[in-house]
Structure 1
Amino acid sequence: METAAYISDENLVLFWPSLIGVMAIALAHLFAPRFRFLHKPDNIWVPMSAGIALAYVFMDIFPHLAKSKANFGYVGVNPIYELLARNIYLVALIGFAVYLGIVLAEMAFRKDPAAREITFREAPVFIKIEYLSLAAYNFLIGYLIAEQVTHRAEPAVLFAIAMAVHFAGLDYLARGHFPKVYDDFMRYASAAAVLAGWVSGVVVEITNASLDIWYSFLAGGIIVIAAVYELPHIHTQRQYWAFVVGAALFSLLILSIGYIGK
């Protein structure tokens, strides 16, 4: 790793959109339960947020990884790093498996009616691991928003929009599962983690190969969280079309800016 030249003359114009984007995600964590539109019986925001998040994975992250895999001449620091760098989609599968295991354990615990009343301190170890992993998930996202300025052509704010919407829906659901854990710990930990990740991304720059490994792991996690937490809340045609609209609009946004294939 080396110190990032993030705030150079050519990157200064992108510094503020990046900071605004990560602040939007932090605010979504802190105030999502207060958004009244999330509490409507026929909630369309959660399906729409899933559509946006999945569109980002399939229309941007995976095409970027495909291009990087074709262009990079990876030099392995060690055999494991070399394996992951040369098999980048394996990392996405690993991310998928890790997050799926954590989420399924949490869902089984949630069947206990008393689970809603637990605090973070009282929670079982695997619940703590889940929420700490979500904080790590946020740290990674904050880091990637900062890193995109030097590694990728697209505006960092594009990624931030997708993640702010994604987390608004996700946090609404998380609070419904464990209100005290969310109110007392998760929203603050997630907001702090995404900001800390952004600061780390400004200060430290990692190699393209390492960044792609992180991106791929994140893609697997986004797919699990959207599929297991958000998509099951589609019960009506209106909610289904909200998912379609979210995915379509964000896909069109990515295509219109012209980053796919560059």
Structure 2
Amino acid sequence: MTLLATGICALCLAALHLEARFFAPTLDAPRSPWLSAAGGAAAAYVFVHIFPGLCEGQETLRRTGWAIVSVLDRHVFLIALGGLLVFYGLERTALAARGGRSGPPVSPSQQGVFWLHLVSFALYNFLIGYLLVNRVHPGPVSLFTYFAAMALHMAGNDHALRRHFTDDYRKCGRKVLALAVVCGWACGAVLHVHEAVLALLFAFLAGGVVMNTMKDEIPLDGSGNYPAFAAGAAGYAALLLLL
């Protein structure tokens, strides 16, 4: 039953990428309050649910006795920082190719930028799908909160990628990302890693969620929607505390 439930969640996340374009009129600029609320909810999930879990993951790492643990401290949080830096670098690359946030989508002549983003976000979606099955805290409530937060987060990612790479993303990008989620779930169903590795994977995901959420809420042009973002964050944080 658990595998079936996570499989359904993976298919729903994949369908989100395939069908998100139908919601484009509602989500497009000026910055939609729905996107801001979704970003706030995803950020709340990271700060209220994942980050406290990273403290447990840090203790799990210390108990492994791995050599790297004796060299570095705060390993889990360094991985989270790494996730943030990776996606910050990707965003800067896309903005440079566009000539700024208000510039046109990346041109077909800059395919390298598109493929760099596509491969990176495919691996990111693969990780999201994998962690549907292999979460630090198993159980239906954990699955629901993780799925809901990732669905909201991926809606924002889809919107950002469609804005950067309009035609290329519409033609093949969304299909690759949808497939990546399902492949991640399938891998998670047959391959289980050490709980310390699981903590590191969640740490990287946390850093990525923070960056991919905040990059659209604090742009230099001020197009974020603070009231909607704050409402989404407060509402989802309250839900997580109640469950």
Same-fold call, TM cutoff 0.5? yes
Residue pair 1:50, 1:166 contacting (<8 A) in 2 also: yes
| Aligned with 2:38 (options 44, 49, 60) | 49
Say if 1:166 and 1:123 are closer, same or farther in 2 by CA, change over 3 A: same
Say if 1:100 and 1:114 are closer, same or farther in 2 by CA, change over 3 A: closer
Deviation at 1:201, TM superposition (A): 0.4
Task: After superposing the two structures, state which structure 1 stretch, 180-189 or 107-116, moved more.
Answer: 107-116
Paired residue secondary structure (1:205): coil
Question: Structure 2: how far apart are the matches of 1:197 and 1:214?
Answer: 13
Deviation at 1:129, TM superposition (A): 1.5
Structure 1 runs, 4 residues or longer, greater than 6 Å off: none
Residue pair 1:22, 1:145 contacting (<8 A) in 2 also: yes
Structure 1 gap ranges (5+): 1-11, 258-262
Equivalences, count: 237
Task: Please tell me the residue identity of whatever aligns with 1:221.
Answer: G
Deviation at 1:223, TM superposition (A): 1.2
Deviation at 1:20, TM superposition (A): 2.2
Paired residue secondary structure (1:229): coil
Question: Structure 2: how far apart are the matches of 1:39 and 1:126?
Answer: 22
Residue pair 2:153, 2:209 contacting (<8 A) in 1 also: no
Deviation at 1:177, TM superposition (A): 2.1
Q: Tell me whether 1:33 sits opposite 2:21 in the alignment.
A: yes
TM-score normalised to structure 2 length = 0.87
Deviation at 1:170, TM superposition (A): 2.2
Structure 2 gap ranges (5+): none
| Percentage of identical aligned residues | 32
2:138 corresponding residue in structure 1: 152
1:171 corresponding residue in structure 2: 158
Deviation at 1:184, TM superposition (A): 1.4
Question: Structure 2: how far apart are the matches of 1:82 and 1:21?
Answer: 38
**Alpha carbon RMSD of aligned pairs, Å?**
2.5
| Aligned with 1:104 (options 84, 92, 103) | 92
Q: Tell me whether 1:17 sits opposite 2:5 in the alignment.
A: yes
TM-score normalised to structure 1 length = 0.81
